[in-house]
Chain A
Amino acid sequence: MSATLLVGGLGLGAAGALAGAALPARARVPAAAVLTAAACVASFAAAAGVLVSGGTIRVHSAEILPLTGVTLSLDPLGAVFVITTAVVGAAVSCYAAGYPARSMKSRAAAGLLPMFITSLLLVPAAASIATFMAAWELMALSSLLLLLTGHRRPEARDAAQWYAVMTHAGAAAILLAFVLMGAHAGGQSFDAIRAYASGLSPAVRSLAFVLALAGFASKAGAVPLHVWLPRAHPEAPGPVSALMSGAMVNLGIYGIVRTGDGLLGGGELWWWLTVVALGVASALFGALHAAASSDLKRLLAYSTVDNMGLVLIGVGASGALAVGGHAALAALAMVAALFQVMNHSAFKGCLFLGAGSVQHAAGTRDLDCLGGLLRQLPATAALFGIAALSICALPPFSGFASEWLLLQGFLRGFSAHSAATATALLAGVAALALTGGLTAAAFVKAFGIGFLGQPRTPAAAAAGEAAPAMVAGMALLAVPCVVLGVIPGTVMPLLARAAGTALGGAPPDPLRAGSGLAIAGSSDVVQPALLTAVLIAGLVLAWALVRVRVRARARRTEAWGCGRELQTARMQYTATSFAEPLQRVFDDVLRPDRDLDVSHLAESRYFEDALRYHSRIDDAVERGWYRPLIGLASRWGEVARRAQNGSMHRYLGYGFAALVVLLVVLA
């Protein structure tokens, strides 16, 4: 039954891709949307069945891929990622049905979007090297082509180039890791590799893990392999960027857990300390850039880097604790990481869809040109606001629940009495604490500057509400932000089961049953449902307090202008000015380029004619690490060009020299 659902879901997705590519212009978008949503529903049902029953769906078909066949196996760990992708995928197909951009209505885009979603559903179910790599590459290529639907803009082409290079380098690293793990395994299914890898020498296992980590961490956007992410996610069309940030980056995390904990069976302590270090770097770097950015989608993309960093810290802590023999603590950290993945997909998917609506309505995603959108796009603004509160980890929304679990994981992890693990946990705690405040600043800026205040440009003033299908898509993702926040306990047994599969063995359930979160064997409990009730009661009482004494409607008057008579929208703080103090505090990390040009009047140097101020924050990692590398590659290209000057004599000479060298070597 479940196997039928899974296969049927993937088949529906393929049908959606075909429908999008083949049907005439008017029918293709709705048909693809309906089929893809159905695919997501079927996969959701299959994965939910796996999580509830704790079993595994296995499917093998020798007919589909020549030589190797397709092997699918969906266990509870994969099911968590399939469920997450299915929810984001369903919301995005709904949103895409109403998305007005012409570029997303083309034959190519309408066919690629279902293909992208299907490949995202397929990756966590793949259970052999060939199936996994095929699904992985299908995901990379379909998203790359979707990114290129904006090929008329040079920024999109540039982003696509970065993305293509990074994703293929990553795929090559992953493939190498698989080859190392499974070269002599006597089969290419994951089960065969798992059995074989336990007998490998530690050096080979470590090399395989490092290669896999590099490949998967680059997909998850971990610093310093993140450089493609803040370019590609903002440049992609609204629905595609929601899928990239809400579902694709998760699969990087999935890959690390699957190879490190699953295929390689836990490994060594330093592997996981490296993962924590990557997580700390990503969390801090992402949060800082998000706080400083004034481009709405770039802010969201950096916040994805930040959140994936937090997940990596959880995954790394879990691995380190498992190596130390603390199975219950490891399970708690893994549950926290998986819960964070789930919540991040919901709120970030919703935020990216909202940013897509804003970009389409106002024609820009530069916060400095927006403002006052709450009046023009009330529904979009409200849903964006819910997701923003959730990402700031404010109770009673879902971000708080997963952040609380992470904190509990750290608090308990310190009792493991290992100096190395404790140091890693301390770094993790510091990163978590610092990102908390920075994220709040970033999202107060995103919501406060973008949706509140007065419109800063005529385009922002003329923006109109998004189509009902788009609002419905966002709402579908806002629901889990609230529900998982108020009753997080309901999904905990399922996540505990997934964590158990990930870590192997049967670790004790880290949480007590209930609608809230309660750590087993301690007094640490949080009941968000009660907290929500108290908050709502407080709101109503405070409202009554105001209204009982003063019944009249509020009078509208002008805002305080410090005695000025005229106040214009240009006098408001912009996103850049809002972030300026933080940017100044973290000057050494962000290293902004600032320029002040002053031109003077010809008559006197004491009078200024014009002032021009530029401020730009580039990615310091890109500038410091990647630019020199690219420079080296292009210099090497120059050298190669000199050797290859078109002279036939020279080429014959190269051939002759090569022959002589070969003869000498072989003789």
Chain B
Amino acid sequence: MSAAPLATAGVSVLQLGAVMTGGPLLYGLMAKVRARAEGRAGAPIRQPLLDLRKLAGKERIHAGNSSAVLPLAPLVLIAATAAAVAIAPLISTRPALGTTADAFVVVFLLLLGSVAVALAGLDAGTAFGGMGASRAMTIGALAEPALLVAVLALSIQAGSSNLPHIVLATLAHPQWVASPERVLALFALVIVVFAEAGRIPVDNPSTHLELTMIHEAMVLEYAGPELALITLGEQMRLGLLLALVANLFFPWGIAAAASVPRVVLGLAVLAAKTAAIAGGVAVLEVSMAKLRLFRIPEILSAAFVLAILAVVTGLVVTP
């Protein structure tokens, strides 16, 4: 590692700041696109940030029968997501701890956050919390394998599961972006992003009907600053997933060195790429209806099969 530790640490902090503000803004952008498509003016894009600030100043309220898990879960969610953001190559290929930025680490850090939130859903001992946790874990149990195998397909192509290594190898071999295994893995990952981020064909983040809720049902008992943390955690997760998809499948613009102009450029390009994907996701969301719960396994198993096919084509095509 030739890059100064201070510069790489700076990149990590910058990435953290970018995802912490960018995640909520992406949520706002998606809501805005949705509103426009439906013929409404919609709230301003920065509305999620305003909501977070409002929630952060409110009183802390816990459900009567809850234990220490309830206040602990948002912290674990934030810490796990933040750790993933700090090590992943988002703005620069040289974040601090970039050597330990393994793709599987990111996958399991995301799982750590999901498990914490699901346990929180069961903590208060209500019907809705259990329902949300059960559904979320069912969907997670099916999305997880697709994510893992898709990541493995990318790692096999690059010969390493180190994320900066994969990004750099893609930059060195631009033809990989159009290779069949990349395309198959991309489709699998996009389906997984819809599931992991709780977007429309899988879950509806803006529903107000408890019986159709998945993620919202788990966090019904949260209020005030802890709700702010949970919401921020979910928004950061979406930001991280979109940024990873952008950089793994279209890495151009990422800063290969830790110099200031390159990093600023990297930040701008990352914002543009994720905003474009978020817009696309929002358009897809508007054009689809939410699936019935027991139809979701079908699209997730399709994602799993696509990911397996990505590995297979990778083995057959690349000698």
A-to-B contact residues, CB < 8 Å: 291, 371-372, 374-375, 389, 392-395, 400, 403-404, 407-408, 410-411, 414-415, 422, 426, 429-430, 432-434, 436-438, 440-441, 444-445, 447-449, 452-454, 516, 522-527, 530-531, 534-539, 542-543, 545-546, 549-550, 552-562, 567, 569, 571-573, 577-582, 584-585
Chain A contacts for B146, CB-based, 8 A: 433
Q: Is the CB of A448 within 8 A of B122?
A: yes
Q: Scoring B residues 131 to 169 as 1 if CB is less than 8 Å from chain A, else 0, what string do you get?
A: 101110110111111101100100110011110010000
Q: Is the CB of A550 within 8 A of B63?
A: no
A371–B119 Cα gap in the complex (Å)?
A: 13
Q: Is the CB of A426 within 8 A of B308?
A: yes
Q: How far is the CB of B211 from chain A (nearest CB, A)?
A: 9
B99 contacts the other chain (CB 8 A) = yes
Chain B contacts for A572, CB-based, 8 A: 125-127, 130
Chain B contacts for A546, CB-based, 8 A: 56, 60, 75, 225-226, 229
- Chain B residue nearest to A447 (CB atoms) is B119
A351–B210 Cα gap in the complex (Å)?
A: 34
B261 contacts the other chain (CB 8 A) = no
Q: Is the CB of B83 within 8 A of A534?
A: yes
Chain A contacts for B141, CB-based, 8 A: 291, 437-438, 440-441, 582
B264 contacts the other chain (CB 8 A) = no
- Chain B residue nearest to A551 (CB atoms) is B60
Other A-B pairs beyond A437-B144, A542-B82, 7, CB < 8 Å: A375-B67, A434-B145, A440-B144, A453-B124, A525-B162, A567-B126, A572-B127
B224 contacts the other chain (CB 8 A) = yes
Q: How far is the CB of A524 from chain B (nearest CB, A)?
A: 5
Q: Is the CB of B79 within 8 A of A392?
A: no
Known: A448-B118, A454-B65. A581 touches B293 (CB 8 A): yes
Chain B contacts for A291, CB-based, 8 A: 141
Question: Do most interface residues of chain A lie in helix, strand or loop, or is the interface mixed?
Answer: helix
Chain A contacts for B97, CB-based, 8 A: 527, 530-531, 534
- Chain A residue nearest to B124 (CB atoms) is A559
Residue of A291, A371, A449, A542 ringed by the most chain B CB atoms within 10 A: A542
A578–B126 Cα gap in the complex (Å)?
A: 13
Selected interface stretch from B43-51, B107-115, B269-277, B281-289:
B107-115
Q: Is the CB of B122 within 8 A of A542?
A: no
Q: How far is the CB of B1 from chain A (nearest CB, A)?
A: 11
Q: Scoring B residues 299 to 314 as 1 if CB is less than 8 Å from chain A, else 0, what string do you get?
A: 0000010001001100
Q: How far is the CB of A461 from chain B (nearest CB, A)?
A: 12
Closest 6 CB pairs of A and B: A573-B130, A538-B79, A453-B125, A437-B144, A448-B122, A437-B141
Q: Is the CB of A550 within 8 A of B64?
A: no
Residue of B62, B134, B225 ringed by the most chain A CB atoms within 10 A: B134
Select one of B67, B104, B148 contacting A374, CB under 8 A. Answer: B67
Q: How far is the CB of A129 from chain B (nearest CB, A)?
A: 43
A444–B124 Cα gap in the complex (Å)?
A: 14
Chain B contacts for A429, CB-based, 8 A: 149, 152, 311
Chain A contacts for B297, CB-based, 8 A: 585
- Tally of contacts, chain A with chain B, CB under 8 A: 267
A449–B123 Cα gap in the complex (Å)?
A: 9
B180 contacts the other chain (CB 8 A) = no
Q: Is the CB of A559 within 8 A of B126?
A: yes
Chain A contacts for B265, CB-based, 8 A: none
Select one of A408, A556, A560, A569 contacting B62, CB under 8 A. Answer: A556
Select one of B66, B86, B127, B221 contacting A534, CB under 8 A. Answer: B86
Q: Is the CB of B115 within 8 A of A389?
A: yes
Chain B contacts for A441, CB-based, 8 A: 137-138, 140-141
Question: Do most interface residues of chain B lie in helix, strand or loop, or is the interface mixed?
Answer: helix
Chain A contacts for B138, CB-based, 8 A: 441, 581-582, 585
- Chain B residue nearest to A449 (CB atoms) is B122
Q: Is the CB of B145 within 8 A of A542?
A: no
A555–B65 Cα gap in the complex (Å)?
A: 12
Q: Is the CB of A549 within 8 A of B99?
A: no
Residue of B111, B114, B312 ringed by the most chain A CB atoms within 10 A: B111
A–B pairs, 30, beta carbons within 8 Å: A374-B67, A393-B108, A404-B102, A407-B104, A407-B152, A414-B311, A414-B315, A433-B145, A433-B146, A436-B144, A440-B114, A444-B119, A447-B119, A448-B133, A454-B65, A516-B100, A523-B165, A534-B79, A543-B75, A545-B56, A556-B64, A557-B64, A558-B64, A559-B66, A559-B124, A559-B129, A577-B134, A581-B294, A584-B294, A585-B138
Q: Is the CB of A527 within 8 A of B67?
A: no
Q: How far is the CB of B66 from chain A (nearest CB, A)?
A: 8
Q: How far is the CB of A568 from chain B (nearest CB, A)?
A: 10
Q: Is the CB of A452 within 8 A of B127?
A: no
Known: A447-B119, A559-B221, A571-B127. A426 touches B79 (CB 8 A): no
Q: Is the CB of B83 within 8 A of A524?
A: no
Known: A433-B149, A436-B144. A561 touches B126 (CB 8 A): yes
Q: How far is the CB of B172 from chain A (nearest CB, A)?
A: 14
Q: How far is the CB of B64 from chain A (nearest CB, A)?
A: 5
Select one of A437, A543, A562 contacting B145, CB under 8 A. Answer: A437
A11–B275 Cα gap in the complex (Å)?
A: 70
Q: Is the CB of B122 within 8 A of A526?
A: no
Q: How far is the CB of A229 from chain B (nearest CB, A)?
A: 23
A400–B99 Cα gap in the complex (Å)?
A: 17
Chain A contacts for B126, CB-based, 8 A: 559-561, 567, 571-572
Chain A contacts for B65, CB-based, 8 A: 372, 453-454, 559
A414–B158 Cα gap in the complex (Å)?
A: 12
Q: Is the CB of B83 within 8 A of A531?
A: yes
Select one of B68, B75, B87, B130 contacting A542, CB under 8 A. Answer: B75
Q: How far is the CB of B16 from chain A (nearest CB, A)?
A: 9
Q: Is the CB of A395 within 8 A of B145?
A: no
Known: A407-B152, A437-B144, A525-B99. A554 touches B122 (CB 8 A): no
- Chain B residue nearest to A571 (CB atoms) is B127
Chain B contacts for A559, CB-based, 8 A: 63-66, 124-126, 129, 221
Known: A430-B145, A581-B134. A394 touches B57 (CB 8 A): no
Q: Is the CB of B294 within 8 A of A585?
A: yes
Residue of A371, A441, A578 ringed by the most chain B CB atoms within 10 A: A441
